[in-house]
Chains A and B, each alone.
Chain A
Amino acid sequence: MNLIIVGLNHKTSPIEIREKLSFPSQTIGEPLKKLTNHFGLNEGVILSTCNRVEVLAITNDMEKGVWQIKRFLSDYHAIPLEKLDEHLYVHLGEDAVKHLFRVGAGLDSMVMGEPQILGQVKDSYGYAVQFNTAGVIVNKLYHKAFQVAKRIRSETKIGESAVSISFAAIELARKIFGDLSGKSCMLIGAGEMAELAAKHLLTNGIREILVANRTYEKAVEMVKGFGGTAIMFREFPHYLKNVDIVIASTGAPNFIIRPDQIHEVMRERKQKPMFFIDISVPRNIDPLVNNVDNCYVYDVDDLQGVVVANLQERSKEAEAAERIVEEEIEKFYRWIKSLDVVPTIISLRQTCDQIRKAEMQKGLASLNHLSEKDRKVLDAMTSAIVNKILHHPVTHLKKEANKVEGDLYIDTIRKLFDLTIDEEAVKKAQNNDD
């Protein structure tokens, strides 16, 4: 089996190249068919996202295969190969398996461990199935890749920590409040960032969102989007005691929330914790508010720090994830190895011969009167029967093994006869052949 991946990603190429090379999913059938029909590749999958374009293919000849895929990319998008080549990476054999596993688990993504890529890999495989360019190896390989991604997700925390500012803020809120349902939030300033944060809060089940903006109409406009309540800007201090999270993003040149004011608010709300997120520059919330008991103030820099900390914690998880990848590659290769035709034939012959011998022994035990010569005749006869029965399957296996469907034949034989590979026996047999 010769597996090849040729492609480029955000690390090896600028966006200008990536966008030229992308394959829209609506018309993906055409390039897939071209890949397998015109370029003579056995199986093919095309993964196209905004950060990467990759072609995975199974071929009989690696060197030729790589060249074919490169030609395909260049022909299909009408980009001269000389311009393209410097951005392309090539992964062959085991290296390609590893690459696919890592991509699926998000280990190769711009934001490590991000979950979207798995869905995109799943889609790319889905198209290959739909347009009949996925064979037995691609099937097994992708199912394994999904398994690996799932295992990494469940055994490491790589996907857990938030690595964008607004997600980091939500995660902080959850470390303070636990469950966010039943909590309420006030946005002071109806900017884009605030709106984004509000949407994240809503998906995390926040109960109520108040919006205060200097231009009241803008606040009204904004709450239409998610069913919050608009309040007059000058009245926002009166509502502070009712909200748990405050997100400030006004253009005000000075602090609009001060410690003395919050002391009062905290007394009124019986010291229930408050979380202040200040995404405005210059800052709108006096950092001294952080010194008030049960109040936590984070500005943009603090949130950036949280993102860095989260990323560090993730990279610790990446080690564990890489170990899982290695483990799974080994498992996959054990399966791949079993697809070699020679060991399969040896194993098939051995299995049948073992059955023959066992049955002979049983039969002969009750045929004591037979002479040595009779026994030899019987032995030769049963041997001949087994050999004759196996003759056609073995000839076909040998013939088909190098064709497109070869792996399917081998896999089927292994399953039908319940064959296991005895590596020692295979080695021995191969040495005898030499």
Chain B
Amino acid sequence: MSEIFFHITAVAYLVATFVYIGYLFARKDRLLDAAQYILLAGFAAHTVTIVTRWVAAGRTPATSLHESLTFFSWIVIALYMFLLFKYKQRVLGAFIAPFALLLILSASLLPQEIIPLAPVLESYWLPVHVILAFMGNAFFALAFFLGIMYIIQERYLKKRKLKGLYFILPSLEVLDELNYKCLQYGFPLLTVAIITGAVWSEYAVGSYWDWKPRQIWSLITWFLYAALLHGRLTAGWRGRKAAIFSGTAFMILLASFIIINLVSGGAHGLSQ
């Protein structure tokens, strides 16, 4: 059941990505409309995938890397829809759709069987921690792509050669503002995720903090984003500088997430 919808999701995101890319080149609003509908359809299938998997596994579907990537990409799209609804910046979808596609395709290459979770880890803290952490990181992902859009648009304006994407990308101020908003949403979520993670760890293994790679890296990420927010608030970091900083922070975050999961074979190396 879950598998069929997983495939539908992948195909929908693939088609949406192509239509979005078509839009970036042709800049016809009709393509953007179409891409958005296809993405929405994919998101619906994605939702069914997550729900059926959740029911089948009887726990939050974020134990194996396959599950984590699938779930994380769902949250990325969900939060993109939230931003779309609130700020009406539709072009962002053209950057988010390929990213979601990449996550889903990576997930499809990984073993998909449902791995039972060690009973000791069963807790209410699991879904709370996972969803908060994913939401925080998804906001950072959105900030990353908003940053890329900013850098592209800024380049056009600095070079004074206006063509292509210039005509469809939002204004610098809007992009910078949205980037900042994503950090403002993402940072508290990450903070609470780290705390709930510690609490969960206390329940599961009896200690709040034991310097696992996962914990160290999330702390590093936390400090990076804290520094960025601080710089924005006090030192007037903005625009390109802030975009590059948040982009780098997200790449570190993404790399650590993938490496840790590949090395340990599952979230936190706690499954099996």
Which residues of A are at the interface with B, using a C-beta cutoff of 8 A?
Answer: 155, 157, 161, 172, 174-179, 267, 270-273, 290, 293-294, 296, 298, 302, 305-306, 309-310, 312-313, 316, 320
Q: Tell me if A176 and B236 are in contact (CB < 8 A).
A: no
Instruction: In the complex, identify which listed stretch (B10-18, B75-83, B161-169, B263-271) lies at the interface while the others stay far away.
Output: B161-169
Q: Tell me if B162 and A305 are in contact (CB < 8 A).
A: yes
What's the nearest-Cβ distance from chain B to residue A206, in Å? 14
Q: Which chain A positions have C-beta within 8 A of B177? A: 178
Q: Which chain A positions have C-beta within 8 A of B174? A: 178
21 contacts between A and B (CB under 8 A): A175-B157, A175-B172, A176-B171, A177-B171, A177-B172, A178-B174, A178-B177, A267-B236, A270-B238, A271-B237, A272-B236, A272-B238, A290-B160, A293-B241, A294-B239, A305-B160, A305-B161, A305-B162, A306-B162, A312-B163, A320-B28
Q: Which chain B positions have C-beta within 8 A of A294? A: 238-240
- Does B202 reach chain A (CB closer than 8 Å)? no
Closest to B171 in A: A178
Closest to B159 in A: A290
How far is it, in angstroms, between the C-alpha of A270 and the C-alpha of B235 when the chains are bound? 7
Q: Which chain A positions have C-beta within 8 A of B162? A: 305-306, 309-310
Q: Which chain A positions have C-beta within 8 A of B241? A: 271, 293
Q: Which chain A positions have C-beta within 8 A of B173? A: 176-179, 273
How far is it, in angstroms, between the C-alpha of A207 and the C-alpha of B150 when the chains are bound? 25
How far is it, in angstroms, between the C-alpha of A272 and the C-alpha of B171 when the chains are bound? 14
Q: Which chain B positions have C-beta within 8 A of A175? A: 153, 157, 166, 171-172
Q: Which chain A positions have C-beta within 8 A of B98? A: none
Q: Tell me if A271 and B236 are in contact (CB < 8 A).
A: yes
Contacts A177-B171, A296-B157: A270 and B236 contacting too (C-beta < 8 A)? Answer: yes
Q: Tell me if A313 and B239 are in contact (CB < 8 A).
A: no
Q: Tell me if A174 and B171 are in contact (CB < 8 A).
A: yes
Contacts A175-B171, A178-B170, A178-B173: A290 and B158 contacting too (C-beta < 8 A)? Answer: yes
Ranked 9 nearest A-B pairs via Cβ: A270-B236, A178-B171, A271-B236, A178-B173, A309-B162, A302-B160, A178-B174, A175-B171, A177-B173
Q: Tell me if B172 and A176 are in contact (CB < 8 A).
A: yes
How far is it, in angstroms, between the C-alpha of A302 and the C-alpha of B166 when the chains are bound? 15
How far is it, in angstroms, between the C-alpha of A227 and the C-alpha of B28 when the chains are bound? 41
From A178, A296, A312, A316, give the contact of B158 (CB < 8 A): A296
Which residues of B are at the interface with A, using a C-beta cutoff of 8 A?
Answer: 27-29, 153, 157-158, 160-163, 166-167, 170-174, 177, 235-241
Q: Which chain B positions have C-beta within 8 A of A310? A: 162
Q: Which chain B positions have C-beta within 8 A of A177? A: 171-173
From A273, A306, A309, A312, give the contact of B172 (CB < 8 A): A273
Closest to B238 in A: A271
Q: Which chain B positions have C-beta within 8 A of A302? A: 160
What's the nearest-Cβ distance from chain B to residue A294, in Å? 5
Q: Which chain B positions have C-beta within 8 A of A316? A: 27
How far is it, in angstroms, between the C-alpha of A298 and the C-alpha of B162 when the chains are bound? 12
How far is it, in angstroms, between the C-alpha of A316 and the C-alpha of B239 when the chains are bound? 31
Q: Which chain B positions have C-beta within 8 A of A290? A: 158, 160
Closest to A271 in B: B236
What's the nearest-Cβ distance from chain B to residue A113, in Å? 14
How far is it, in angstroms, between the C-alpha of A175 and the C-alpha of B152 when the chains are bound? 13
What's the nearest-Cβ distance from chain B to residue A199, in Å? 22
Q: Which chain B positions have C-beta within 8 A of A309? A: 161-163, 166
What's the nearest-Cβ distance from chain A to residue B195, in Å? 32
What's the nearest-Cβ distance from chain B to residue A243, in Å? 15
Given contacts A267-B236, A273-B173, A298-B160, 15 further A-B contacts (CB under 8 A): A155-B29, A175-B157, A176-B171, A178-B177, A270-B238, A271-B236, A271-B241, A272-B238, A293-B240, A306-B160, A306-B162, A309-B166, A310-B162, A313-B27, A320-B28
How far is it, in angstroms, between the C-alpha of A337 and the C-alpha of B15 when the chains are bound? 42
How far is it, in angstroms, between the C-alpha of A310 and the C-alpha of B28 when the chains are bound? 15
Q: Which chain B positions have C-beta within 8 A of A306? A: 160, 162
Q: Which of B162, B166, B177, B235 is the most central at the interface, judged by chain A CB atoms within 10 Å of its CB?
A: B162
What's the nearest-Cβ distance from chain A to residue B167, in Å? 5
Q: Which chain A positions have C-beta within 8 A of B235? A: 270
Q: Which chain A positions have C-beta within 8 A of B160? A: 290, 298, 302, 305-306
Closest to A299 in B: B160
Q: Which chain B positions have C-beta within 8 A of A172? A: 157
Q: Which chain B positions have C-beta within 8 A of A155? A: 29
What's the nearest-Cβ distance from chain B to residue A166, in Å? 16
Q: Which chain B positions have C-beta within 8 A of A313? A: 27, 163, 167
How far is it, in angstroms, between the C-alpha of A340 and the C-alpha of B158 when the chains are bound? 61
Closest to B166 in A: A175
How far is it, in angstroms, between the C-alpha of A312 and the C-alpha of B167 when the chains are bound? 11
How far is it, in angstroms, between the C-alpha of A174 and the C-alpha of B238 when the chains are bound? 18
Q: Which chain A positions have C-beta within 8 A of B29? A: 155, 157
How far is it, in angstroms, between the C-alpha of A313 and the C-alpha of B162 when the chains are bound? 10
From A157, A293, A298, give the contact of B239 (CB < 8 A): A293
What's the nearest-Cβ distance from chain B to residue A56, in Å? 32
How far is it, in angstroms, between the C-alpha of A320 and the C-alpha of B31 when the chains are bound? 13
Closest to A154 in B: B29
Q: Which chain A positions have C-beta within 8 A of B239? A: 271, 273, 293-294
How far is it, in angstroms, between the C-alpha of A270 and the C-alpha of B174 when the chains are bound? 18
How far is it, in angstroms, between the C-alpha of A11 and the C-alpha of B78 when the chains are bound? 54
Q: Which chain B positions have C-beta within 8 A of A178? A: 170-174, 177
Closest to B156 in A: A175
Closest to A308 in B: B162
